[in-house]
Structure 1
Amino acid sequence: MTIFLQVQINIVLSILLFILLGHSYSNINRKKITNRLVIWIIGLTWVTLILETLSVLLNSPNLRQFIVLHKLVNIIGFIVTPTILFLGYIFSKEWANRYQKEKIKVNNILLLPLIINGIGTLISHNGGGIFHVSNENIYERGPLFFILPCVSYTYFAYNLYFIYKHRKKFTNAELVIFSSFNIIPALFTSIQLKYSAYLTTWTSTAIIIVIGYIFILNDQAYRDSLTGLENRLSYDKYTQNIGYKKLSKLFAVYIDIDGLKTINDQYGHYEGDEAIKAFASLLHESFPVRQKKLIRLGGDEFLILLERQPIEKVVTYIQNLTQCVETYNNKGEKPFRLSFSYGMAGYTKAYKSIYQLLEYADQLMYLQKQNRKNRL
C-alpha cells in the first residue's frame, strides 16, 4: 500500500466523519450526556485522522522548514489518541447508567495512563520521549514509544472488562457493537505497531464509529423520548417480525398507571410527565432480565414482553414492581402516589397470533382496573 493510497483513505474517512460530526451536532439531543460523548468521540477521531495525514505528508527531508509543525502535529496526535479511548469507556459507563438510580462511578485511576502518556509525549519535543523527529524531518519511534500502546491496550482491556462486568445492563446487540468498538481497533492497532507503514488504527476506528453512530441513531428511533423505553414503532417492528420459536415462549404484561389524569389535573402536566418517567424507571428496576422489551405504547400505557421466562419468574417481577412502587410512594418525594393495573398472559396454541395474546392481556388489565374502581 503506497503512502499516496493511505493518505487518500484517510482523507475520504475524514470527510465522512466531518459529515457525521455536522449531522450529530445538528440532529441529536445534546442534552443527553451519551450524545455529547458521541459528538466528542467523532470530533476527536476526525482531528486525529487529519493529524495522521499531516504527519505522513510532512515526513520528508524536502519539508525541513516545517519541522516544528511536524513535531506539533505528532504531539497533539499522541495526546488525543488515548483520550478518545478514555471517552469510549465513559460512553459505555453512561450508556449502562441510562436507567439506573445508583450511578456507576468513574474509575479515577484510569486518568493516570492519560497523564503518563501526556508527559511522555511532551518530552518528545527534545527527542527523548514517545517519538522523535530528526533534523532531516523524519519521524521515528522514541525510546518511550512503548507507553502509548501500553496505555491504549489498558483502555481496550478495561472497557471490555467493564462491558462484561455490567453485561446485564446491555442488550445482545449492544454487547456486540460496544465490544467491537474495542476489539477491532485493538487488532488493527497491533498491525500498525508491527508494520508502521500501514495506517490501520484510525481507519478501522473511523469505520467502527460510523457503524456505531448508525446503531445509536437506530436505537433512538425506537425509543420513547420521555422515558427512554422502547416506543410504538419498536412494538410494531417486534410484532411484525416475531418468529414462532420466540412466540411459543412469550409472556406479555400490559400495564396502565392508575389516575394519571387526576395527577395532571391536580398538579399539572409537568408532574404527570414526572410520574410517567418515575414509573418507567421502576419498570427497569423491577424486571432485571436481558431478554425483555419494555415499551411505552403511549400516554399511561406500557407493555412488557418477556421471552423464555417461566411463569414463576414473571410473577416475581410483577411483585418486584409492586414493592418498588410502594417504596417510591413511602418516600413521599412527590405530592402524588403511583399505582398501576396490569394484565398478564402467556402464549399457548389457543392463540392464533401474537395480537390475540396481547389483546387478552389488555382485557385482563382493564378488568383489574375496573374492579379497583368498583371497590373504591
Structure 2
Amino acid sequence: MQVFLRIDINLAALVLLGVVFLIAYQSLDRQDSINKKFLTTSLVIMLELVFETLTCMINRRPELWLIPVSELMHICLFITAPLLTYSWYKFNYSWTEPDSTIFKTRKILYFIPIVINTVLTVLSPIYGFIFDIDSANVYHRGSLFLVSAVITYFYLIISLIQIFKRKGKIIKQEWIPLIAFGILPIIGGILQSMFYGVLLMWSCTAFSLVIIYYFLQQRMAHLDNLTGVWTRGSFDYYISRRIHHKADDKFGLIYADLDGLKQINDQYGHSEGDKAIQTAVGLIRSVLRKTDIIARMGGDEFAVIMECDSKEALEKTIERINVSFEAYNKTSGKRYRLEGSFGTDIFDMRYASIEQFLNHVDNLMYSQKKNKKADLGGSVGFDSF
C-alpha cells in the first residue's frame, strides 16, 4: 500500500497523458513538425513514467537479479531527463528566435552539461555519482545527485527566460501554455529534490503536456482550415506585437493573389478551386525557408513575412515561386494553370503604420494583376480547351 501511495500520481499522469496522446494522434496533423514533437515527447515522458514507477516497485525487493535491472532503468531516467529539457529549450529558441544564428554557435557549449551528466550517470553503478543501488536493492541518491538535477532544470530555466525575453514575438494563444510547460516541471522537480521519495518531476511534465495539447488545439483554431497556414487574425496580431515591441524592425513582405480562381470555381466547381488554393500554398511553402511565415489573408490572397532587408531577396523568392508554379503546370494534367500576382516591399520607418504598408504592397500586387490581365486580354491563369 505504501508503494502504491508513492506511485499513484505517476499512474494517474500516465493514464491521463496516454488518453490525450491517443486523442492527439487521431486529431492532430502528424505531418506538422510541432505536432510531431508533441507526440514524440509524450511517448518519451510516458516511458519515463513507466521506468520511474517500476523502479519504485522493485526498490527493496530481495531478488538479486533486480539490482542490474534497477541500475539500467535509473541510467535511462537520469540520461533522458536533461535531453528532454534541452530539446524543449531548442524548440523554444527556434520558435521565438527563428531568424537567429546565435543558437548554432552555442549548441556545442550547451551540450557539454548533457555529456557530463551522461558520463556521471553511466559511471554511477560503480562509483555512486548520481545514484547508488546497494546490495539490498535499495536506491540512494549519489553525492553528485544535485549536479544532474541542476543540469536538467538549467534548460527549463533558460527556456523560460527566452520566452519572457521574446514575449512580443509569441502569439497570445501560445503564451500561457509555453510558460506552464516550463514552470510545472520545475516546481515538481524542486519538490522531488527537496523531499526524498516524492515523485513529481515526470508527472508534472505529463500534466504540462496536457496543457500543451490544449495549445495545439487552440493553434488549430488560428490556422486556416483549408491550407494549414496562419489566419488573417494571427497575422494581424503577430505584426502588431512585432511593431509595438520593435518599431524600427525591418522585414520583407510578399503579398500574393492566385490568378484565375473565379474561372476555376465557375467551370470546375468550388471543390476544385479549394484544391487549387491548397496546391498553390503547398508550392509557395516548398520554396520558403523555415523562418518565413505565410498567412491566408482571405479567399485566394496570401501574405509572406520574410526576415530580410532587401527587395532583391524578395524578388528571388518570387522567382522561385513562379518556377515552382511552372513546373507544376507542366505535369499536373489540369485544364487550368496555377499562376500568381505579387506585390512586395521592405517595411521600415518610411511607413507611418503597418496598415499603410500593407495597403502599399496590396496595391503593388493589384497593379501587377491588372497589367497581366491587360496583356492577356482579361484572362489570367486560365486555359480554354
Distance 1:298 1:258, change over 3 A: closer
Distance in 2, matches of 1:272 and 1:65, equals: 61
Q: Find out whether 1:166 has 2:153 as its counterpart.
A: no
Partner of 2:75: 75
User: What 5-or-longer segments of structure 1 have no aligned partner?
Assistant: 239-254, 287-293, 305-316, 342-360
1:211 aligns with 2:211: yes
1:82-97 to 2 correspondence within 5 Å? 82-96=82-96
Where do residues 153-232 of structure 1 align in structure 2 (5 Å cutoff)?
Answer: 153-224=153-224, 226=227, 228-230=229-231
Asked whether the equivalents of residues 284 and 321 of structure 2 are also in contact (C-alpha less than 8 Å), the reply is no
Structure 1 equivalent of residue 314 of structure 2: 328
Contact preservation (8 Å) 2:257, 2:302 = no
- What residue is the counterpart of 1:272 in the other structure? 280
Q: Please report how far the alpha carbon of residue 129 of structure 1 lies from its aligned counterpart in structure 2 after TM superposition.
A: 1.7
* Structure 2 CA distance for aligned equivalents of residues 261 and 122 of structure 1: 64
Name the residue aligned to 1:312. none
Structure 1 residues 104 and 35, CA gap change in structure 2 (3 angstroms): farther
The answer as to whether partners of 1:127 and 1:133 remain within 8 angstroms in 2 is no
Contact 2:133 2:140 in 1 (8 A): yes
| Helix, strand or coil at the partner of 2:298 | strand
User: Pairwise mapping of residues 57-136 of structure 1 onto structure 2 (< 5 A)?
Assistant: 57-96=57-96, 100=98, 105-106=103-104, 107-136=107-136
Equivalence for 2:370: 373
Give the aligned residue type for 2:281.
D
Mapped contact 1:192–1:199 kept (Cα < 8 A) = yes
- Deviation of the 1:151 alpha carbon: 0.4
Partner Cα distance (2:283, 2:66) in 1: 62
Distance 2:189 2:24 in 1: 27
In structure 2, do the counterparts of structure 1 residues 108 and 230 end up closer, same or farther at CA, with 3 Å as the change threshold? Answer: farther
Tell me if the contact between 1:117 and 1:151 (Cα under 8 Å) persists in the aligned partners.
yes
State the one-letter code of the partner of 2:315: N
Quote the Cα distance in structure 2 between the aligned partners of 1:9 and 1:325: 56
CA deviation vs aligned residue, 1:194-215 (integer Å, no higher than 9, x gap): 1012212112111111111121
Is residue 2:29 matched to residue 1:29? yes
Number of aligned residue pairs: give it. 310
Displacement of 1:74 in angstroms is 1.0
Residues 297/78 of structure 1: CA separation in 2 closer, same or farther (3 Å cut): same
Residue 49 of structure 1 deviates from its aligned partner by 0.7
What SS class does the counterpart of residue 146 from structure 1 fall into? helix
Give the match's secondary structure for 1:175. helix
Shift of 1:371: 11
How far apart in 2 are the matches of 1:171 and 1:270? 24
Q: Give the 3 Å change call, closer, same or farther, for CA 372–29 of structure 1 in structure 2.
A: closer
Aligned to 1:339: 342
Change beyond 3 A, Cα 1:272–1:21? closer
Give the AA of the match of 1:121: T
Q: Single out whichever of 207-216 and 165-174 deviates more from structure 2.
A: 165-174
Letter in 2 for 1:373: K
Q: CA deviation at 1:101?
A: 6.1
Deviation track 1:85-142 (CA, whole Å, cap 9, x = no partner) reads 1121122234336xx5667744332221111111111111124220001111110011
Contact 1:223 1:231 in 2 (8 A): no
Instruction: Assess, with a 3 A threshold, how the Cα gap between structure 1 residues 112 and 327 changes in structure 2: closer, same or farther.
Output: closer
Deviation, structure 1 residue 71: 1.3
Pick closer, same or farther for the CA change 1:152–1:330 going to 2, 3 Å. Answer: closer
- Measured after TM superposition, the shift of residue 300 of structure 1 is 2.0
Matching residue of 1:296: 297
Give the SS at the match of 1:335. helix
Secondary structure of the corresponding residue to residue 132 of structure 1: strand
Q: Which runs of 5+ in 2 are unaligned?
A: 238-253, 265-275, 324-339, 345-357, 375-385
Instruction: Note closer, same or farther for the CA distance 1:271–1:62 as it changes in structure 2 (3 Å cut).
Output: closer
Query: After superposition, what is the alpha-carbon deviation per residue over 1:292-333, rounded to whole angstroms, capped at 9, x for unaligned?
Result: xx653332267x9xxxxxxxxxxxx9xx99x97775225643
Partner of 1:310: none
SS in 2 for 1:56: helix
Tell me what 1:3 maps to. 3
Contact 1:276 1:300 in 2 (8 A): no
- Cα separation, partners in 2 of 1:340 and 1:192, compared to 1, 3 Å: same
Amino acid in the other structure paired with 1:272: A
- In structure 2, relative to structure 1, the CA distance for the partners of 1:188 and 1:171 (3 Å cut) is same
- Name the aligned partner's letter for residue 137 of structure 1: N
Residue identity over aligned pairs, in percent, reads 23
Distance 1:108 1:260 in 2: 48
Counterpart of 1:180, as a letter, is: A
Aligned-partner Cα distance in 2 for 1:201–1:259: 50
Q: What is the identity, as a one-letter code, of the residue corresponding to 2:18?
A: F
User: Aligned partners of 2:37, 2:47: CA distance in 1, in Å?
Assistant: 15
Q: Distance in 2 between matches of 1:231 and 1:259?
A: 17
- The answer on whether the counterparts of 2:30 and 2:36 sit within 8 Å (CA) in structure 1 is yes
- The 8 Å contact of residues 41 and 88 in structure 1, kept in 2 or not, is answered as no
Asked if the contact 1:37–1:87 (Cα under 8 Å) also holds between the matched residues in 2, the reply is no
How far has the Cα of 1:183 moved from its partner? 1.9
Structure 1 residue 256, shift from structure 2 partner: 7.1
Q: What is the letter of the counterpart of residue 207 of structure 1?
A: F
Over the aligned positions, Cα root-mean-square deviation in angstroms equals 4.4
